[in-house]
């Protein structure tokens, strides 16, 4: 079953200004958080109310991900405190890309996407379910050696719509999103990521647009995008996509952001013109 958390009883979903932050994070947590805060402040100044940070925004240290020594207890740790303070001080919804969260048994940590509301409270947590594995010549990644997989899809109902969470490699598994489309279809899919340059160049944009088109909802993707101090290259191309698959804003490489407005009229228009969700035999409308 999908884990869904009710955040608000507001009957009317409202439009909201979205922003996705792109970074080239390194090994210094303080420097990364300062860089993120500067980018968030610029997006807020331009009217953003929902901000998504990329995967490993606070630290990208190893060849694959941040090692266990950067992990925190859930609900208590400097990175989570920082995110809570940023959300509260700016009165925004802040989706904190991923934060390494310790497991109760002391084993490998989870790679958790955590949503903070404008009061700075945690509203939802999703642990990345699909762990990246890739090998081509000298380029090798196996996340399962360092982190553990989550076991539950997570969505939540906010005043501005129904959100579905995913992280990076999850993007290759469309069944994850289909499970979150019932009984209430998603309005927004969030995708913090650190796609490698190799796989990102080949598939990133195609996969993102496919998820928007098949689920007829907005997709917001915040990426790492550049050459990191450890030598790793990430693809970038943070973007926001509408329910028809149109790219509304895109940032190629380097630190920066993308912005667009989630419009519920646009979602309704697409679903009315092409009622594909109602035709799917495994989705209850």
Query: 113 with 150: CB under 8 angstroms?
Result: no
To the query of whether residue 284 is one of the catalytic residues in this protein, the response is: no
Query: 166 with 190: CB under 8 angstroms?
Result: yes
Q: Which of 43, 49, 55, 251 is catalytic?
A: 55
Burial class (CB in 10 A: 0-12, 13-18, 19+), 180: buried
Q: Which of 43, 49, 128, 237 is catalytic?
A: 128
Which parts of the chain fold into alpha helices (H)?
A: 29-45, 78-90, 174-180, 197-199, 205-215, 264-273, 276-279
Q: Which of 168, 237, 251, 253 is catalytic?
A: 168
CB atoms within 10 A of CB 168: 31
To the query of whether residue 168 is one of the catalytic residues in this protein, the response is: yes
Do the strands 247-251 and 256-262 form a parallel or antiparallel pair, or are they unpaired? unpaired
To the query of whether residue 128 is one of the catalytic residues in this protein, the response is: yes
Which 3 state secondary structure label does DSSP give 68? Answer: helix
Strand-pairing partners, residue 124, are 115
| Residues acting as catalytic residues | 55, 128, 168
């Amino acid at each position: 079953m999908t884990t869904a958390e009710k955040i608000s009883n507001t009957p009317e979903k409202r439009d909201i200004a979205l922003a996705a932050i792109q970074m080239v994070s390194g090994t210094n947590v303080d420097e990364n958080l300062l860089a993120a805060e500067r980018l968030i402040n610029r997006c807020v100044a331009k009217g953003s109310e929902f901000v998504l940070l990329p995967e490993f925004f606070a630290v990208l240290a190893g060849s694959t991900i941040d090692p266990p020594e950067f992990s925190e207890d859930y609900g208590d740790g400097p990175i989570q405190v920082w995110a809570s303070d940023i959300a509260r001080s700016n009165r925004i919804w802040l989706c904190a890309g991923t934060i390494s969260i310790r497991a109760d048994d002391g084993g490998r940590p989870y790679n958790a996407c955590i949503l903070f509301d404008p009061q700075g409270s945690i509203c939802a947590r999703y642990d990345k379910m699909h762990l990246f594995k890739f090998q081509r010549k000298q380029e090798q990644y196996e996340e399962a050696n360092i982190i553990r997989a989550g076991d539950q899809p997570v969505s939540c109902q906010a005043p501005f719509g129904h959100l579905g969470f995913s992280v990076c490699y999850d993007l290759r598994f469309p069944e994850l999103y289909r499970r979150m489309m019932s009984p209430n279809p998603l309005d927004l899919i969030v995708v913090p990521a650190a796609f490698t340059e190799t796989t990102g160049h080949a598939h990133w944009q195609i996969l993102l647009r496919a998820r928007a088109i098949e689920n007829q909802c907005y997709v917001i993707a915040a990426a790492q995008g550049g050459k990191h101090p450890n030598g790793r290259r990430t693809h970038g191309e943070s973007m926001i996509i509408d329910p028809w698959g149109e790219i509304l804003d895109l940032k190629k490489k380097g630190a920066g952001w993308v912005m667009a407005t989630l419009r519920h009229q646009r979602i309704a228009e697409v679903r009315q013109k092409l009622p594909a969700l109602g035709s799917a035999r495994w989705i209850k409308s």
